[in-house]
Every structure is written in structure tokens, then in C-alpha cells.
Amino acid sequence: MPQKSKYKAPLAHLVNPGHSACAGCGMIIASRLVLDAAGKNTIVTNATGCSEVTTTQYPMTAFKIPWIHSLFENPASLASGISAVLRKRGQEDKINVIAIGGDGATFDIGLGNISGMWERGDNVLYVCYDNEAYQNTGYQSSGATPLNAHTTTTPAGTKSFGSQLPKKNMIEIALAHNLPYVATATVGYPLDVIDKVKKTLAIKGPKYLQIYCPCVPGWGIEPKDTVKVSKLAVNSGFYPIVEFINGQLARKMTISKQEPVENFLKIQKRFKHLFASPGGQKEIARLQVIADYNIKKFGLI
Amino acid sequence: MKIPITVKPGTTARVKTGNWRELYVPEIDYEKCIGCSMCEKICPEGICFSTGEKNSKGKIFFEKDLDYCKGCGLCAEICPAKAIEMKREEK
Ligand SMILES: Cc1ncc(C[n+]2csc(CCOP(=O)(O)OP(=O)(O)O)c2C)c(N)n1
Ligand code: SF4
Ligand code: SF4
Ligand SMILES: [Mg+2]
């Protein structure tokens, strides 16, 4: 029998339950952490993708703050308009504007609109929840998909080890726009996400936060492993957690004990083909080179 | 025909997702709980919460709401005090 409890959840978060995100979904953890840290005086614009589809099945919404969805590629432009109105009304310092998009929305389809918003210097925090593929439509590869990952459009087989392209460096693209704040974080370290959201919202101007969010079916992991995979990505050097203020590396999450990239790969079905052939070992070595490069570049050890 | 494009805040709460659980259900040992709130931070459903009550060690303990819990096991994974165990659920 299900246990009986005399306690009921107060539903005090700004994202309510009852949404349809998969058990263990990283994206929904990120959405809640970001909104709770930002507080109720916040307006959100959201791209198309799992963060929209799972939370707003008409006529319902999981959100308890003003939240607007228009088009896949549009959260930045919509946020720009909202921030212009708030500026005109003198409410800029009282209300946060946050645009949320997946990696497909951010690295690929919305990139031009994001670039425009950054160029204009609009007072918007753009949050990309990076689950490394177009997960909502059935796990197609995006610019954020890492080298050698199997996706439905980069299938691993006898002629291929999955995606033949390395991950696009969105952090460098953001930095090239001279933003006052650019950072990565991951749901594997929730307190860091909260810290960064609070810190960045105190800065006026365009800000970019990229949150690494495992996707249970897309990566082929157990729901309970969302935190473990995130931590292995960080502690292998594969996904560096860094923070840039005015273009300068201000903070980084250091690694106390470097994990071999293999430990990160082997608990995900999207990389399992790498363990099935001698050629795969060479590919694992290439991924290790990427991790080692990150560690050196940012001085993570 | 007119279709409203706004809806009431937080209305998904009427969808009880507890029936998504497959085999396991989290059980929180109130006595082991140190009240750190990590389960509250990580729960994808946002339904791990402080009861506001103290255990015999004077620590405020947490609980989860099984009406919504999908049984992902992340609360048990992240708990630094190992106060949460995923138990086989008999339905
Ligand atoms: C212009 C346009 N092209 C394609 C789609 C179909 N589509 C909806 S969601 C989605 C995937 C979104 O991927 P991402 O931004 O990474 O978010 P995720 O689903 O991974 O959370 C796609 C391709 C669309 N809605 N609009
Ligand atoms: S498909 Fe992936 S991103 Fe989408 S709800 Fe499921 S776990 Fe989350
Ligand atoms: S098992 Fe998952 S859904 Fe259930 S209370 Fe724990 S973290 Fe929340
Ligand atoms: Mg995605």
C-alpha cells in the first residue's frame, strides 16, 4: 500500500507539479531552480521544446508567474520587447525578464535573435537548458550535441560513431558579444544554479546562463542518474562549470579527483556503441582529449 | 468562436502524477533527516518539503507528497545523510 502521510506539499515553488516532464528530467529541475531563485517579480518568455510542452498543456500551466510562449526561435525577441516596455515605464529594476530556451532553440534556431538582443544590450537573462539535442521531437542532434553521441539523426552504426561534429562553443559566442555575465552551471549542483541566478540578476544588461540538464530518454539514463551523470560530466572535465564577469574568468568549479571520461560515457546509452568495438576505444580517447583540454584551458585542477 | 489565450497560474496541480511511479517509492527516515533541503532542491516535481517539525535530534525533517511523486529516486541519490531510501512499492 502507498504510505499514508499526514503532511501535504505546500506547493510553494513557482513551478507547480502535475507537469508531464519525464521522471528524473533535468530541464524541469533547472526551470524550478531558476524561477525560485529569481522570485515572483519575474516575467518569462519560453521557446518551444520540452520546457514549454511539458508545462503548459492547454488549458493548464505549471507556472505561477507571467509566462509567454510564442515561437520556437522567439524567446529573445519577445523578452527584448518586454524589457523595452519595462524600461519605458521605469520598472526595469523591479521586474526580472528571463528568456528560457533549450539547446536547439539557443545554439541553432534562435541564435540570430539572441545575437540581436545581446547586441542591443537588452536587460534580459537568457537561460539555455542544455540537454544536448532536440529532445522533445524525438532526440535529433543539435549544435549542442557532443562528438560521438548517438541521436536519431546521427545514428551510430557500422559506418558511424554517432555525431561527427564537436559541440558548438556557445560560451565563446556569448563572450564575443561582450556580455557582462556569461556562465555555465548544472542541475547536478543545484546550489550553484541558485547562486548564479541571484548573482546575475543583480547585473543590469544582457546575461547568459547555460545549464547542463541530462535528458532521461534522450541520453538513455536511469531517472535516478541525472545528478550522477551531471557530476561525472563536470568532474571528468567534459562539461566545465565556469563564470565570466565582463569577459574575465571570475570563478570555476574545480575538480578534486579527475574522473576518466569513460566513467561518464558508460552509463549513457547514447555512447554505448563506443564500448562495442576497438574503433570505439579510439573515439573515447578523442573525447578524453576534449576533457583534458578543458581542464588545462580553465585550470580546473 | 473565441479561445482564451491565457490560463490560470499553477493549474497543472490538478493532475496527480503519483500514478507514474513504477516500482519504487521514496521513504524518508525522519530521524536521519538533517533538514538540509537538498531533496527539495532536486525533486523534479517540487514536492519534497519541510514539515516544519523537529525530530528527536532537534532537526527539522522533510517529507514528500506521493500524490505527485514519479519515483525518480533523485531525492534519495542527493540526500547527504542517506535518510531517503527507495523501497519497492506494493500497489
Ligand atoms: C520553427 C519550428 N521548427 C521546428 C519545430 C518543431 N520542434 C518543436 S520542439 C523541437 C525541439 C526543441 O529542441 P530544444 O530547443 O533543444 O529543446 P528540448 O526539446 O530538447 O527541450 C522542435 C524541433 C517548431 N515547433 N518550430
Ligand atoms: S524528453 Fe528529456 S528534456 Fe524532455 S521531458 Fe523527458 S527528460 Fe525532460
Ligand atoms: S522520487 Fe523523485 S519525484 Fe519522488 S519525491 Fe523523490 S525526487 Fe521527487
Ligand atoms: Mg534540447
Name the domain count of chain B.
Answer: 1
Q: Do A10 and B49 touch (CB under 8 A)?
A: yes
Instruction: Write out pLDDT tens, residues A125-178.
Output: 999 999 999 999 999 999 999 999 999 999 999 999 999 999 999 999 999 999
Is residue B4, in this structure, part of any structural domain at all?
no
The CB of A68 under 6 Å from ligand 2? The reply is no
What integer pLDDT is reported at residue A3 of this predicted model? 58
Minimal-distance CA residue of chain A relative to B91: A1
* Domain range enclosing A282: 26-298
Structural domain contains residue A9: no
On whether any CB of chain B is under 8 Å from the CB of A227, the answer is yes
pLDDT score at A298: 98
pLDDT band at A253, cuts 50/70/90? very high
Classify residue B44: in a domain, yes or no: yes
Q: Is residue A143 part of a domain?
A: yes
Mean pLDDT over residues A19-44, rounded? 98
Whole-number Å distance between alpha carbons of A126 and B87: 39
Q: If pLDDT is split at 50, 70 and 90, which confidence band does A5 have?
A: confident
Please name the member of A7, A12, A29 whose beta carbon is closest to the beta carbon of B44.
A29
**Structural domain contains residue A232:** yes
Task: Tell me, yes or no, whether B73 lies in a domain.
Answer: yes
CA of residue B75 relative to chain centroid, distance:
7
Flag whether A44 is in a domain: yes
Whether the CB-CB separation of A26 and A187 falls below 8 Å is answered with yes
Q: Is residue B42 part of a domain?
A: yes
Is B51 among the domain residues?
yes
A16 within some domain: no
Task: Decide if B5 is inside a domain.
Answer: no
Total domains in the fold of chain A: 1
Tell me, what CATH number does B58's domain have? 3.30.70.20
pLDDT band with cut points at 50, 70 and 90 for residue B90:
confident
Average pLDDT estimate for A246-269: 98
User: Is B7 part of any domain?
Assistant: no
Torsion of CA A95, A35, A72, B4, to 10 degrees: -70
Split at pLDDT 50, 70, 90, the class of A1 is very low
pTM of this structure: 0.98
| β-bridge pairing A248-252 and A242-245 | antiparallel
Cis omega (within 30 of 0) for bond into A59: yes
Q: Does the CB atom of residue A135 touch ligand 1 within 6 A?
A: yes
Percent of chain A predicted with pLDDT > 70: 99
Average pLDDT taken over every residue of chain B: 97
Q: Is residue A50 part of a domain?
A: yes
Instruction: Return the CATH number at A128.
Output: 3.40.50.970
Q: Nearest by CB to A190, which of B16, B41, B76?
A: B41
Q: What is the largest CA-CA distance in chain A?
A: 63
Is A177 in the B-facing interface, judged by CB distances under 8 Å?
Answer: no
In a domain, A10, yes or no: no
Q: What percent of chain B has pLDDT over 70?
A: 100
pLDDT score, position A6 = 85
Helix axes A26-38, A226-235, angle to 10 degrees: 80
Contact A103, A51 (CB under 8 A): no
Query: For the segment A36-94, what is each residue's pLDDT rounded down to a tens digit?
Result: 999 999 999 999 999 999 999 999 999 999 999 999 999 999 999 999 999 999 999 99
The range of the structural domain enclosing residue B79 comes to 17-88
Ligand nearest to the CA of A73: 1
A217 in B contact zone (CB under 8 Å): no
* Position in ligand 1 atom list of the atom nearest CA A142: 16
Residue A71 Cα to ligand 1 middle (Å): 10
The answer to whether residue B23 sits within a structural domain is yes
ipTM > 0.95, yes or no: yes
Mean pLDDT of A264-288: 97
Helix (H, G, I), strand (E, B) or coil at A192: helix
- Smallest Cβ–Cβ distance between A227 and the set B20, B71, B77 belongs to B77
Q: What is the pLDDT of residues B47-74, one digit of tens each?
A: 999 999 999 999 999 999 999 999 999 9
